[in-house]
Each structure stands twice: as C-alpha cells, then as structure tokens.
Structure 1
C-alpha cells in the first residue's frame, strides 16, 4: 500500500474545509452539516489493486485469527465499468491489518450460467457474523440487466467456507407498479432488538423506463424487510420505502447503504446521489430503522483528501468514493472502506480511511 503521506492533499482549500466546525459550502449546492464522523477520517490509501481487474464493493470483517478478511467483487478490465452487471464475481482476500497488504485467497461466488437466478453476475457482497455463523449477502442477475437484480444469501461456518450457495433469491421485487417492482439490490443487514433487519435498494420500472436523465434513470429508494432469524424469511415493512429523497426534487436519491448499531441507535452511511451532490457520502441515524434523521456529510469527494492524475477517458465516476463499508471491532467503527475509480491500472480499487477516536 502506498504510504499515507503520498495521499494527503496539500491544497489550502482542503485545509480550510477541515477547519470549518459545522458546515461545508459548495458553489451552487445546498449547505450540508458536517458530521462528527467525517472529522475523524484520515486517508490511508488504495489497496488490493489488481492488474486486469476492476475491484469494487469491499466488505471487511475481523476474523477469529485477528486478521482482516475482505470480501469484494471484481470483473475483468476488458469489460469496462459495465462489467459489474454482466460478468462480476465475489472474492476473498486477507491482510494482517487494515493498513497492510491484502492478498487474494479465492473466488467465492461466480456467475453460474443459463438457468440460474445469478447466471450473469455476483456483486454487492456484504459479510457479517450473526449468532456464530457467517452470512454473505449479495446480488445476482439472470440476464445481465438491472431488472433481474435479486438479493441472495450464502452461508458458511467459517470465513474460509465452505459456502452454501442459494438456489433461489432471498428477497424478490414488489408487484408491478410498486415502488420496488424493478429489482432488489445493495443489501445491508443488522441485528436490532432481537430482529434481523435487511435494508435494500430498489426503484420503480416505469420511472426507470421513462427517465429523461442522461445518466441516472429512475429514483433509488431504500426499503426494509424483517426476519426472526438471519436466514429469513424476510417480510417487507408495510411503510416502505423508509428512505425516499425524491421530494427534494432534481431526482435526489442515495445508494450503497451500510448499517451498524452504536450508542443505542442504528447508523447508516451511504453515497449521496443529489441530496447535496453526487460526490459526498451521507450519514443518518434511526431508533428503529423506519424513520431516519436528516442526512449529514459523512465524507467528501476524493480531491478533498488526495491528489490524483487526470482520469483516463473511460473513467466517468472518477473522483468520488462509492460503496462505503465499515470495519467494526468490538462493535466500534475503526476503518472506512470505500471503492474508487483510478489507481495505477486506471480501473478501480478499495480506498481506505482510518477512523480516529
């Protein structure tokens, strides 16, 4: 991993923003309150850069061996950025510490081919330990298109497997016309008050098909499904969606949620998609998962923390951090794992922040 000092940005603007105690101001955008969380972030740098691959969706967990186990998605670089939807696999890597070298171990889940619900991709891994067993929630597609994205669940007695792979999805979309009739994706799961809460992203197919936005189609919202045991069945909350920013106008939305419990509260970190901009992260909290606080800024865009060379022409999401996932130790956030386009191969790789207390 490249040394931290090579990533710290030296611009006067970045320093000034860090000194602002409560608010961040961006030209032409709403003012957003800066969370206490954002002020604790210290960039470590890129990790797990793999020649010939895009690396995305990095979900970390401490193992019983004291090492950091990372479950991530990757696809061959020749497919371009769109390979996540048609040709992605989920892999396992291990490092001695969050700031040491991650080494690829094996591929856990790969597309199974014609006839399977996860025939064309395996993506969005989220690893967690619940009740002494390991659960790997993920998303698969059957035709390489967004309308067959479905959440699934693989289980294992150990982080090293063996992984029992599901023959059917864990959570299906809603009926035609429902807010979530297009797909289920981006799973985030937490145990709370004896129940298992599964948060998922979806949107409406008609909105998706009729969207006039050049790059963002539909309006992504988050729903909640609840189970008595981690394997399910998960029953959708009747008041869904629990997060809906469409009322703000300009197709404001969010995605990539990660949920954890701390200070008797549920906390969510996610990627902004138009609430303040399309480069920041958002932070919210809730007592029960159904009503969430007004979003604060969880982290900034990449230029706030690091200097990078100009992007290659094929990288259109350059300069932002996506898929935020938190490495917890004894229930406390210790490191923030994101993914970001760029790096020495001009593809994508994890970018890690230390959370200082």
Structure 2
C-alpha cells in the first residue's frame, strides 16, 4: 500500500521501521530447494504465460533482506544455493572513501553467505580481487552473474584496468577498458580460476567496438550457452561513445568461444541508451528478461525495471505487462521506500519459479550516493 505522499527514509529508518521476523514467517515463497542458480533452472510447474506480470509477484521487503557493509558501497547481487543449503551472494563493493564513482576503478566482487535466500547475509571473502594492471581485469571487477551448470559454477563479470586516478565524474580510462569475462569454480565458496583473456573482445565496426559489460547467461534447449551483454560502439563522440545497445552471443560451452549475432536487442527507436543491466532466463519455450529501463522507453514510467520477452531468445520486445518496478521498494509495514536507483536485477529460482529478485539500491544522487545496499525482494505467484 502506498502512502498518500512520497516518503523518503534513510536506510537505518528503513530497518527500524520494517517490522520484525514475523514478516518473514508470513511469507512462504523461496522456501528452500537447491536449484535455481542463476538461469540454469527447469521451467516453472505452471508456465508463466503470455500475460506474465512480474510486478504482481513482488512482496514486502523484510529487514533481513537488506544487505550492506560498513565502510563500503555495495552494488550488484547474484545468488546461488549450494549443495549444503547455504546461500552464496556475489556482489560488488568498493570503499566509501574512494567516492561512489569509484565503482569503475576500485570495485571488487565479494562473497557473502546466508542460511536463507532473503538473508541476513554476512561477508565471507573477496571472490575476484584486484590482481595487477598487467591483466585485463587487474584493477576492477564488477557486475557479477553466477551460473551453475554441469556440476561447476561460473561467475561472469565485467573487468577493467586503467590509471586508477580519482577524477571529477567517471574515469573514462577504466570505463572504456571494460570487458566481459568469466571465472570457474567447483564449489560456490571457490577458489575461482580466472583467465588471461576476456570472453568478449571488442570488434572493430561492431556494436561493441569500444567496450562490453553487464553479462547475463542462460542454457538453451540444444545445450549451447547464450550470453547477452551491454555493448558500446564508436559511432558517437568519445569518451562516452555509443550508441549503447545489447548484443547476443552463443557458445558451445560456458567458457566460449562465443559467436556474436549481428542484430542488437533491447533497442528503442531514437534512443541512444535505452536499457542496461539485463537478466535473462528461459521458461519452457519462452524467454524473458528484466532490464533497467533508462527513461521509461518500455514501461512509460520513467527510470524503472522493465520486463521483456522473446520466442527465440534473439528477437526481443516489451512484455504485455512491461513495468516490473519503479525506483522504490515496499517495506513489510506497507510504507514505500523511495530510492535514487533500483537496478542490476537478478532473479533466484526455487523449483523453477522466480522466488527472489535481487537489486542494487541507492539513496542520494545519481553520481553521489549517500548509501547503497543490496535488497532481496521476495516473490510469490499471485
């Protein structure tokens, strides 16, 4: 239930007012199960259907579902449940003293654990630390997306290197060195084996001629792996470049080699940067994606989360009910938490059903966040 007027809360107020464990007890979604790692999931028992409306699945957020780490900005968030039942969250973090814009220079992919999918999560270790400027991902790892497949765990991510200088705004040296890569482990705890080269290199004259980031993967019915990533070309002036689109690539194995398809996806006529942060999955014979809609191109609701659909995974369009969420979350007491950002959507599945929507959230301004956190939004089929 929305309050009559917009309400702005600090995160501490959010936690204090968000109710108690009783809110958890009243929710029976995501009750367990060891399946549901990223997109390697069986179809839902009941297909989602043409009129699937993810916004109606969103449940109130209990206080345990908000994860932050003192002294760090926290971003992203992708979860897999291990064979022992523990939940493993991989997230991006960087020290607050570096400033919010240091996500592109100082981020590292860290690892937290919990007993339940919605938390509370506790920091465990750093999964993908900095490893030196001689590596393509030597200074910064970001945008994790975990994928369990064939008895192994694959952690897709964005990496970069650069001068590590603190500048006003964005450090373009690091931003334009962004590439998509993957690390592999036998267990969700790691250790993670990294590679000397990224999965995706820029292709001159192609949509990704400048950089690539924000990977999401799924397994296709024929056993091949499908990757969608954000791509920035060189048709527009530097340092930003552009336009910003998304590219589909396929490979016989999770570690590649990937073949890029020519047509960009999640595009909108006249828009140079319509979307980012895709999460893709397959439900039976249909493909779905949640993306960050930059200006309401697909939802008509301003900056928001949008639902996209596809019959083949290659040609995409807005779903019949495209709005997933505005930049807000509903607390367990019914009040609405207004946010500066709600993005980096990642789903966790229980027995084939979407059960938790993980998002990165911030309060403050777009370039100067006062606080950030990961939120695990419970989902339940209406």
| Coarse TM-score class (shorter-chain normalised) | 0.7 to 0.9
Q: Where do 1:277-288 residues align within 5 Å?
A: 277-288=301-312
Alignment partner, residue 241 of structure 1? 264
Pairwise CA RMSD: 2.5
1:36 Cα deviation from its structure 2 partner: 1.4
Cα distance in 2 for partners of 1:91, 1:128 equals 16
**Structure 1 counterpart SS, 2:361:** strand
1:180 aligns with 2:202: no
Give the structure 2 partner of residue 28 of structure 1: none
8 Å CA contact 2:61–2:329 kept in 1: the answer is no
Is the 1:334–1:356 contact (alpha carbons within 8 Å) kept by the matching residues of 2? yes
Matched residue SS, 2:97:
helix
Is 1:79–2:98 an aligned residue pair? yes
CA deviation string 1:228-279 (max 9, x = no partner): 1111101111x3213322x1x3545100000111142111001101213542
RCO higher in structure (CA 8 A, sep ≥6):
2
Please report how far the alpha carbon of residue 38 of structure 1 lies from its aligned counterpart in structure 2 after TM superposition: 0.5
- Between the aligned partners of 1:132 and 1:240, the Cα distance in structure 2 is 32
Superposition pairs for residues 288-327 of structure 1, below 5 Å? 288-295=312-319, 296-302=322-328, 306-308=335-337, 318-327=339-348
Q: Distance in 1 between matches of 2:350 and 2:149?
A: 14
Taking structure 1 as the reference length, the TM-score comes to: 0.81
Q: What displacement does 1:5 show? A: 4.2
Q: Give me the whole-angstrom Cα distance separating, in 1, the residues matched to 2:196 and 2:148.
A: 21
Aligned length: 314
Write out per-residue CA displacement over residues 49-80 of structure 1, whole angstroms, 9 at most, x where no aligned residue: 11110111100112111122100010001121
Work out the CA distance in 2 between the residues paired with 1:122 and 1:232.
Answer: 20
- Mapped to 2, the partners of 1:210 and 1:117 lie a distance apart of 19
Indicate if the aligned counterparts of 1:62 and 1:327 stay in contact, CA closer than 8 A: no
CA distance in 2, matches of 1:348, 1:87: 16
Asked if 1 retains the 8 angstrom alpha-carbon contact of 2:304 and 2:342, the reply is yes
Residues 362 and 373, structure 2, Cα contact 8 Å, conserved in 1: yes
Q: Given the superposition, is the C-alpha separation of residues 136 and 40 from structure 1 closer, same or farther in structure 2, using an over 3 Å criterion?
A: same
Hey, what's the Cα distance between the residues in 1 that align with 2:237 and 2:60? 36
For the pair 1:2 / 2:31, whether they are aligned, the reply is no
Separation in 1, partners of 2:294, 2:330: 18
Secondary structure at the aligned position of 2:15 is classed as coil
- Matching of residue 222 in structure 1 with residue 241 in structure 2: no
Q: In the alignment, is the contact (CA less than 8 A) between 2:287 and 2:311 conserved in 1?
A: yes
Give 1:157 deviation, angstroms. 0.5
State the TM-score, normalized to the length of structure 2: 0.76
- Given candidates 207, 210, 217, the residue that maps to 1:189 is 217
8 Å Cα contact 2:266-2:316 kept in structure 1? yes
1:130-209 to 2 correspondences below 5 Å: 130-143=149-162, 144-175=173-204, 177-193=205-221, 194-209=223-238
Maintained 8 Å contact 1:223/1:243: no
How far 1:301 sits from its partner (Å)?
Answer: 1.9
User: Do structure 1's residue 113 and structure 2's residue 132 form an aligned pair?
Assistant: yes
